[in-house]
Structure formats: C-alpha cells, structure tokens
Amino acid sequence: MRPIKAGISLGAMAHNLRVARAHANGARVFAVVKANAYGHGLSRARRAFAAADGFAVLTLEEAANLRLMGVEQPIMLLEGLFGTDEITACAELGLWPVLHHAAQLDWLERVPPARPLQVFLKFDSGMHRLGMPLAEHGVIVARVRAMAGVAGITLMTHFAQADEAAGVDWQLRPFLDGTKTHALPWSAANSAALLRFPHACGAWVRPGLMLYGASPFADTSTRALGLKAAMSLTSEIIGVQTLRTGEGVGYGQLFRAERPMRVGIVACGYADGYPRHAPTGTPVAVDGCASRTLGRVSMDMLCVDLTGLPNVGIGSPVELWGAQVPVDKVAIAAGTVSYELLCALAPRVPVEEVE
Ligand SMILES: *Cc1c(COP(=O)(O)O)cnc(C)c1O
C-alpha cells in the first residue's frame, strides 16, 4: 500500500476544546466544524467536541448530518439561509441561522417558520464582508424583534484583524457601544480573538482553527498556546538518489546540488494536499530529524534532503506536518495559512484515528 496517511487525534481535539474554554471568559463555546471540520472529518469532530456547547457549520446539509449523528446542542449556520426553501428544515432541525442581509429578513417575514428560530443578527463592524450596516441597528433589531418567526436574538460581528497588531477594539467598541441599548447577548470571537482578547468573548465564542491545534498567529507557536496538533500527515521514503555537484532534482530542476548529496523521494505530492508552492527549504521531519524539501513538489512525490542522515533509506518515515513539524511552519513557507493546508487534505489520503 502507498505509505501516505493522515493521523487524526480526537484526544488532541478534545484537549484543544478545553484550552478554548479556559480562555473563553465564561462564554459558551461553538465548535466551528465547517469544511469537513477543517479537513478532520465531521463525525470525528462531533465525537471529539462532544463537550462543546454548540456547533457551527455553513450548510443545512452539514447541520442535518450532525443531527443524524445525535448532536443535541445548538447548531449555528454561519452564513444563514440561502433561500426560503431552507426555512422549514431550519425550524425542524432547530438550527440557529445567522441573518446577515435584509433579504434574509424578508424571507423570514414572508415564510414564517412553524417553530420560531433563535437567530444571530450579524452587523458589519468594519470587515465589510457579511453583515448589515451597524448604523442601522436600531430599525433592524426592532424589525427582527417583531417577527413571529424569531424566538430570540444574539448580536454578532466578525473581526478582520484579530491575529494582527491592529487587534479587535477598532471594531468591538463601535459594535458594543452602538448596540448596548438593546441589552442582547453577543458573539464576536474567532480563535485569535478568543486567545488574545478576553473582553471580546461575549456570550458565545466561535473557535475553529485552534481546536485543530494550529496557531492563528504568525508569531506564536502552537506549543506556546498550549495546543496539540490534531492532524499529522506522514509518509515514507520510496526512492533515494545520489546527486553530483551541479545536478538538479525534479521538474524544472529548481534545486541543484552544491556538493555531492543524497536525496530522498517521498510518497506525497500536491494530489495529496501538500502545497505545490512549498519551495526548497520547507520544513519536514525525516526519521525524526529536521530536514527540508528540495525543488518542486510534483503530483505524487516530493524530494527531501538526506544530508547528515546516512541511515535513512527506503521505508524511512517522513512527517510532512504534525507534532514535529507544525503545519503553520509549512504554511508560512508555502505562502499560505494552515487553514488552507488542513482543509485541502485530499480524499485519497487514508485517515487513521490515533491517540
Ligand atoms: C470560520 C469562522 C470562525 C472560526 O474562525 P477561526 O479563525 O478558525 O477560529 C468564526 N466565525 C465565523 C463567522 C467564521 O466564518
């Protein structure tokens, strides 16, 4: 069998949820499990995060799957309803949709659900992605409060720079000052905000990334945050080449040997979800030792430096990311974020649940 596999630790996920709760300043915790639980599998997330106060997903289908799996906690729909045809199922499944646009208010008035819904009313406080204008909060809250189809409101916003020096206050202050007259519960924090800004936690927090053991901050490691990597991507050396000075390796011959050296060929490529843009020097662990990739990643293989590793050969283990090689480091080297790498784990990679 091709030796690549992903190991997913439900224990690490459960641990990371406890870390989130410890930071949440008393807020209840929605485990964000969109995108197949950031590549970790919805069913695994359901089991690992059984102690969460709620789950957050994008689609009705994901929410219905969670209900089929026996989830009884609140389930939040992060982008709310995509049409009036979803209102009935939303009520039947007891889901909590986000209302982020006036069109969604129109739909709920036109097709009132049989059972009134708990809703999140989302205001734009500066990110300018989803959310209704903060300046209109007065009329909007009054309108939604009057709806027969709405049982309760939580105010919501989302931060654009919680992981950066700019922080959250430039958005949080106007959001809270503007809406405090309504005396409603609120939700604002993603992983980065929850870890750095306890005053941004409100009634409900919405951590995603941190639950999977990756750091939302470019300058703070997973370990420093007390998180455990939930996913490892591992494979083995399936070929060894000896290069003479000046010889190149792989497509485009992007890497050339400056001295004679051994190169390991690893059974992992971009069709497995490893980033093709990872350049020479991207960190990797070979037989437990820190090493680096060489040259261009191909569809099914990549090359690693075996300098100083004379005992490594066919069958030696390679960690592409996991406990030894933080996924954040691989992401930074490849010019992306760990979110993208975790979500992109390819369906062809067999997954094994580990301790
Ligand atoms: C994805 C998402 C989150 C989780 O963000 P992380 O950075 O992964 O913690 C929180 N809130 C909303 C609205 C989201 O879409």
Condensed to tens digits (0 to 9), the pLDDT of residues 300-327 reads 999 999 999 999 999 999 999 999 999 9
Mean pLDDT (whole number) for 66-95: 97
pLDDT of residue 27: 98
Instruction: Give yes or no: 251 in active site.
Output: yes
Q: Residue 47 pLDDT > 90, yes or no?
A: yes
The pLDDT tens digits for 343-354 are 999 999 999 999
Question: Which pLDDT band holds residue 175 (cuts at 50, 70, 90)?
Answer: very high
CA of 39 to the centre of ligand 1 (A): 14
Class of domain 231-354: mainly beta
Q: Residue 355 pLDDT > 90, yes or no?
A: no
Q: Which atom of ligand 1 is nearest to the CA of 190?
A: 9
Question: Which pLDDT band holds residue 113 (cuts at 50, 70, 90)?
Answer: very high
Task: Find the catalytic residue in 34, 122, 228, 274.
Answer: 34
Counting residues of the chain whose pLDDT is more than 70, the rounded percentage is: 100
pLDDT of residue 123: 98
Q: Residue 188 pLDDT > 90, yes or no?
A: yes
pTM of the model: 0.96
Question: Which pLDDT band holds residue 17 (cuts at 50, 70, 90)?
Answer: very high
CA of 338 to the centre of ligand 1 (A): 13
Q: What are all long-range contacts of 338-342, with beta carbons under 8 Å and residues at least 24 apart?
A: 338/209, 338/214, 338/215, 339/38, 339/208, 339/209, 339/214, 340/275, 341/273, 341/275, 342/38, 342/39, 342/40, 342/212, 342/214, 342/231
Task: Indicate the top mutation candidate among 125, 155, 206 to test ligand 1's pocket, ranked by most ligand atoms within 8 A of CB.
Answer: 206
Contact 66, 45 (CB under 8 A): no
What's the whole-number average pLDDT of the chain? 97
pLDDT of residue 259: 97
CATH number of 10-212: 3.20.20.10
Domain coordinates in residue numbering, the chain: 10-212, 231-354
Mean pLDDT (whole number) for 110-139: 97
d(CA 257, CA 261): 7
The pLDDT tens digits for 193-207 are 999 999 999 999 999
Task: Find the catalytic residue in 38, 122, 180, 251.
Answer: 251
